[in-house]
Amino acid sequence: MNKFSLKIFTLILAFVMFTGYTHADEGMWLPMLVKRLNEADMKANGLRLTAEEIYSGNNSSLKDAIFGLGYGDPSWNFCTSEAISSKGLLLTNHHCAFDMIQNHSSVKNDYLTDGFWAKNMSEELPNEGITASVLVKMEDITKRVKKALDGLSLDDQAVKLEEVKAEIIAEHTKGTHYKGYIKDFFYGNEYYLFISEVFLDVRLVGAPPSSIGKFGGDTDNWMWPRHTGDFSLLRIYAGKDGKPAPYSVDNVPLKPKHSLPVSMKGVQEGDFSMVFGFPGSTQRFKTSYGLDVDYAVTNPARIKLREKRLSLMKEQMDIDAKTRIAYASKYAGISNYYKYFIGQNAGLKRLKTIDKKRVEEKEYQVWADGSKNEAYSTALSRLDKAYSSSVDYSLWSVYLQEAFFGSEILQFGASFIQLQRTLAAGVNEENQAQVDAMIEKLKTSSKEHFEEYSATVDKNVTGALLGMFYTDIDKQYHPDILARIAGENGGDFNKYANVIFENSAFATEEKTMKFLENPNPEVLEKDPVMQFISSVLGVYYAKIRPQSSVANEEVAAAMKDYVAGLLIKNKKKTYYPDANSSLRLSYGNVEDYSPKDGVQYQYFTTLEGVAEKYVPNDGEFDAPKALLEMQMSKEYGKYADKDGTLHVGFITNNDITGGNSGSPVINGNGELIGLAFDGNWEAMTGDLVYDEQYKRCINVDIRYVLFCIDKLAGAAHLIDEMNLVRAKKGK
């Protein structure tokens, strides 16, 4: 069946099953619901597995190969990874492992620049605090939760909900080492229980040099065509009983319940593709009122503040190698979403998303008014009022996050607030142990803070951002200290930054450690950092938090009613819940696209593109000499495509968002064909609305990953661990 016929068949099937059915490529679906909601449509698109082979609570299935990378709490993951061998070998993105690579790097052993490859398991590097969690099972508990909350006031519901959650989690984890958590969906209209196994010993196995793993840098970020080898390898270790255990030399590689076979077949346009992972957050039910605030208020502020931070950081990173390494991860994180907010606003404008939302809301209001249900009929007016009343508070909150705590010394000082309060209240025999533990924890975090820190960068950033707050925020919401600082320094906040760094106990590691050896509440009370933080918190607790909390509660309550109404109004439509870091799958096909008139992007890129973009000694477009030599000689071996080229990346129309980074791209047979690592510029509104025409998922071709491991790194022993599925002759 050709692609055109396949699409027509899919559309007909969808229409027969569900009037108003979501587009086949749209949606981040809960895996336990695949059999009921998606199996027929997925098979029409090319899936050859059963729903049971994708998700099973009792037997081995694809979901057992998917691991969320986090910091101990399985309810939130910063990235996704997947098991690709029976020895716990994990594949994820280079940018997901970036912090780990950086933490093990130094000027002498610059793994960011040179790459890292363990020659054997004894050389694999531990990463304290990093965990890998796998879903054991999930369960719909909506009926039980709603029954417990029925008839209670909103305040009583909040209390009862926490009680019921704890009760359910205890029932399902008693006598086990599993961790449970509960998430609400559709703004509190549904609830699901998740039981996970969390592994505590995750080690770095290999990473290509940044000239491969970050090829294209900020310039190519969110862009297609792409030539980035965005991958790294980790390994999960467990105790000898196969259960999670803290790092120990006695631990052994985990044998996962399932590991993904690795396809050597390559991809063709129209091929089925499934992305399986932990997407972080979407807000696709958000109304025009909320989008108005994003577009006109908060996004422009974030763009402005991040642009300033990045420029000041880059100045010093270009001058000093040590600063470049120390700030590489920070810079990448700030830059990533700086560009994201720019693209999101551009997309909202181009797609006229807010106007379309208003049309939908008018249709909803007509239905709601006829429903005779007050909660449904007043939901939109309540949202309008809540968002309108909170604009100033929303902007202030952005400046709190991006300006006040964009200053590292202020953010660092804030971690001492609890100690300050405890010392001020008095230390006695009853709380001495608590204080001692607090101090030891602060010593550890302080050491970590100064390992990746430049006072020069921070001083410049602090002065600039505080000046921007003073200029941009209405003076009725200024901390009292700002007016005094402006007066004493002639409005020059760079002068005040100098005062902070000359007099604060948090300016250097030596000063901080000296204070922690003999902590004194009077020292903290007089410290300029703590004085500034105290003034900021004074405004927050007196003016911002009370009003913004009321507005947020009103938005939450009105959104619950609005979404409940939508589900009833469009009962023939199959909805998927917003992403919330729970395990999801999306499915679609390999597909090219046209970003604008006269331009057509094909669905794959090759190593030829690396050579075309190559700029010697450039921070973004440099490339390893060995890679370029292989490109010239075309020595790709078994990793070449049937057209003779080495494919680097490919695109699909899979629905993804942040958190999906590192997710496997799986073909119809359940085999790994690539690694998702980015979205495309033309669909930056993806967290707010799925763009059927432009939405693309950017993936690194698994054959390029294998090529880099084998031919460039000389780590064929890692290839030997994998189950490679080779193409049949003639195909």
Whole-number pLDDT of residue 14: 36
How many CA atoms are closer than 13 Å to the CA of 404, on its beta-carbon side? 24
Whole-number pLDDT of residue 329: 84
Whole-number pLDDT of residue 428: 87
Whole-number pLDDT of residue 18: 33
pLDDT at 12 over 80: no
Tokens of 272: 């089925």
Strand partners, 238: 252
Catalytic residue among 25, 64, 95, 561: 95
Q: Please, which pLDDT band fits residue 431 given cuts at 50, 70 and 90?
A: confident
DSSP annotation string for 519-568: --HHHHHH-HHHHHHHHHHHHIIIIIHHHHHHHHHHHHHHHHHHHHHHHH
Whole-number pLDDT of residue 21: 38
Burial of 655 (0-12, 13-18, 19+ CB in 10 A): buried
Catalytic residue among 85, 582, 661, 663: 661
* pTM for this model (two decimals): 0.88
Q: Please, which pLDDT band fits residue 673 given cuts at 50, 70 and 90?
A: very high
Q: Which has more pLDDT, 166 or 729?
A: 166
pLDDT tens-digit series, residues 596-620: 899 999 999 999 999 999 999 998 9
Share of the chain above pLDDT 70, in %: 96
635-638 LR contacts (CB < 8 Å, sep 24+): 635/711, 636/607, 636/707, 637/707, 637/711, 638/264
Tokens of 8: 């027509």
**Residues 103, 152: Cα–Cα separation, whole Å:** 50
Fold held by 25-35+44-281+578-731? Thrombin, subunit H (2.40.10)
pLDDT tens-digit series, residues 91-109: 999 999 999 999 999 889 9
Q: Under a CB-based contact definition with an 8 Å cutoff, are residues 273 and 587 in contact? A: yes
pLDDT at 730 over 60: no
pLDDT at 4 over 50: no
Averaged pLDDT of the chain:
93
Whole-number pLDDT of residue 154: 84
pLDDT tens-digit series, residues 47-73: 999 999 999 988 999 999 999 999 999
Whole-number pLDDT of residue 728: 62
**Residues 397, 375: Cα–Cα separation, whole Å:** 29
pLDDT at 8 over 70: no
Query: Quick check: is 230 catalytic?
Result: yes
Whole-number pLDDT of residue 257: 97
Query: Quick check: is 663 catalytic?
Result: no
Whole-number pLDDT of residue 24: 53
pLDDT at 22 over 60: no
Read off the DSSP letter of residue 254.
Answer: -
Share of the chain above pLDDT 90, in %: 87
In the chain, domain spans: 25-35+44-281+578-731, 354-566
pLDDT at 565 over 80: yes
Burial readout 248-263 (b: 16 or more C-beta within 10 A, e: otherwise): eeebbbbebbbbbbbb
Which residues are CB-contacts of 476 (< 8 A; sequence separation ≥ 6)? none
Catalytic residue among 64, 201, 230, 271: 230
Burial of 517 (0-12, 13-18, 19+ CB in 10 A): exposed
Q: Is 377 helix (H, G, I), strand (E, B) or coil?
A: helix
**Residues 38, 10: Cα–Cα separation, whole Å:** 12
Residue 97: phi and psi, rounded to 5, are -95, 5
> Of 385, 316, 393, 365, which Cα lies nearest the Cα of 549?
393
pLDDT tens-digit series, residues 225-271: 999 999 999 999 999 999 999 999 999 999 999 999 999 999 999 99
**Residues 322, 106: Cα–Cα separation, whole Å:** 8
DSSP E strand stretches across 47-140: 66-70, 79-83, 89-92, 116-117, 125-126, 131-140
Whole-number pLDDT of residue 491: 87
Q: Is 34 helix (H, G, I), strand (E, B) or coil?
A: helix
Tokens of 659: 């958190």
Whole-number pLDDT of residue 646: 98
Whole-number pLDDT of residue 16: 32
pLDDT at 731 over 90: no
Whole-number pLDDT of residue 427: 86
Asked whether the bond before 225 is cis by omega within 30 degrees of 0, the reply is: yes
